[in-house]
Chains A and B, each alone.
Chain A
């Protein structure tokens, strides 16, 4: 029990650091508003937070590794990550991507840890395979990992199939939307927030920064994220049920019970 609660603490702390890294453009308090040190510093923040985020990812994954992983888990995870990376290539309108519903459903069926790894590693592999490694990668990995992980915290509703599907579909849509809000933050510092530090415009408060981000978000990516959210909703409604059946069918094969004789 203590092991599990410590893991939870680590996850929460890493997540908090992640949130700070995600949100630091908005957290700049007014006291830093004078030109000079703070102003000059905010410019190297993106690199710093990029590295920090990468480190946090490594820590969370390493924490999951402190326990020895079963060869079955490693193999299944590897294969599912490959499947998911292939799914990412399925074309669709807007930000539609078939790569998110599998971590959500696997997180729900196989647990938060599995979901986190599946989500985060899928994006890494697909970036490696397609040559898409970029400054957004740690953000994407964290966000997709959270999606899988948070799905593992949902209550098990397998006895109420209809409710389960509707709940998961709505859940998927919500996660799809928030994914976009989060990952777009990677280049925000270059556009708006860096401006906040390097040129201090009197009166530009946290609220206004947030406002600018929301405008920027609405202009650049809202429709994109609606596509993603709708995609998740549809995919889960359409084949969440058979997929969950499949995952549960295999679940028993991943666990072994040796009868003592």
Chain B
């Protein structure tokens, strides 16, 4: 329905607010927008059952979060009730359970649960809406061999399922019963053996179609240099992370280290990708509606980033020490609605 890039941008635009804000109002708007996107254009997908699973996991995690926070955090002014005090030791570390149960801690747990729930539903909706085969094809060229591995396995999964059914029937006739994992070998071994046999034929067929000739052989030195560059850039990233974490003075040095590591890494990966001499057959169509949805996603991303950089307090919400109603900025509220964009520009049903 939409281009894969459109969906990736959508995913990013939907995820960012869950990370940047703990304001329950924006989170609720976001949740609703995502749910509407699923309900209108996602429900007909063959993977729709997975959405329910995500929803269940999300609900239980949110409930867990809502309960565990007030039980372990006793901060906040409004005491709801006082439970018997319990001091447990987990791995030798003392931990206070029970005691003062505060409204603020409860609220805090609830907001955490809400954002966790939003993350889950965003991914669930993404799963249902994106075309996985296209997603697989948009794998970057420096990973193209891995892309082929993935493509093969996606192709073989239905075959393996059919194979497993066939094997199960054949073994039942021989008196085999599946009662527990002890009885797995007669089912699994033929599956694996046939798989390995087929892999050899597949490799033949790939070789006979010119697979593997598409990477220009690099000289030994070049290969070593690339590896060294990757190692160096990873080192940059790592040291940047540690600097920022442990040396709060002159954070910019840490950020610079991390950023240069990141840039070096992207450059090296790009040059790795350029070795691959391989063309792509499939080009996805970029339609006008892709432009519209992507624009909405980008606008939302930009807005949240701007607020985050310029006015952090607009996004922040903390119930501690005394619960106050969250602030509401209509602009941010609108930006939180961005995930609903694909619904507005979707083609009418039946197409």
Contacts and interface: CB of A to CB of B under 8 A. Distances in A.
Query: Is there a contact between chains A and B in the complex with CB atoms less than 8 Å apart?
Result: yes
Interface of A: 2-3, 6-7, 9-10, 13-14, 16-17, 20, 24, 27-29, 31-32, 38, 40, 43-47, 52, 55-56, 58-59, 61-63, 65-72, 74-83, 85-87, 90, 92, 96, 98, 117, 121, 124-125, 128-135, 187, 190-191, 194-195, 198-199, 201, 207-208, 210-212, 214-216, 218-220, 231, 234-235, 238-239, 242-243, 246, 250, 253
A43 B116 contact: no
Nearest to B104: A199
Interface string B251-277: 000000000000001000100100000
Ranked nearest first, the 6 interchain pairs of A and B with the lowest CB-CB distance are A78-B152, A211-B93, A131-B47, A131-B50, A82-B156, A75-B203
B221 to A, nearest CB: 10
A3 B195 contact: no
A29 B246 CA distance: 7
B170 interface: no
A199 B227 contact: no
Contact of B157 (A62, A86, A133, A235): A86
Contact of A79 (B75, B153, B217, B241): B153
Contacts of B202: 75, 78-79
Given A199-B75, A199-B320, A212-B95, A44 B19 contact: yes
A20 B198 contact: no
B50 to A, nearest CB: 4
A20 B19 CA distance: 19
B90 to A, nearest CB: 4
B172 interface: no
B112 A194 contact: yes
A92 B192 CA distance: 20
B120 A191 contact: no
Contacts of A76: 196, 199-200, 203
Nearest to A43: B19
A69 B54 CA distance: 37
A62 B223 CA distance: 12
A253 B123 CA distance: 42
Contacts of A58: 140, 143, 269
Interface of B: 15-16, 19-22, 47, 50-51, 54, 61, 64-65, 68-69, 72-73, 75, 88-91, 93-95, 108, 112, 115-116, 119-120, 123-124, 126-128, 132, 135-136, 140, 142-146, 148-157, 159-161, 164, 181-182, 184-185, 188-189, 191-193, 195-196, 198-200, 202-203, 206-207, 211-212, 215, 217-218, 220, 223-224, 226-228, 230-231, 234-235, 237-238, 241-242, 245-246, 248, 265, 269, 272, 308, 312, 316, 318-320
Given A17-B241, A121-B150, A82 B195 contact: yes
A234 B126 CA distance: 37
A47 B15 contact: yes
Contacts of A71: 203, 206-207, 211-212
Contacts of B184: 90, 98, 235, 238-239
Give the dominant DSSP class at A's interface: helix
A201 to B, nearest CB: 5
B157 to A, nearest CB: 5
A187 B61 contact: yes
A29 B212 CA distance: 49
Nearest to B230: A10
Given A47-B19, A125-B154, A70 B212 contact: yes
Contacts of B248: 31-32, 38
B125 to A, nearest CB: 10
A238 B227 contact: no
Most A-side CB within 10 Å, residue of B15, B181, B316: B181
Contacts of A32: 245, 248
Contacts of B212: 68-71, 74
Contacts of A124: 150
Given A13-B238, A211-B94, A65 B157 contact: no
A194 B65 CA distance: 12
B23 to A, nearest CB: 11
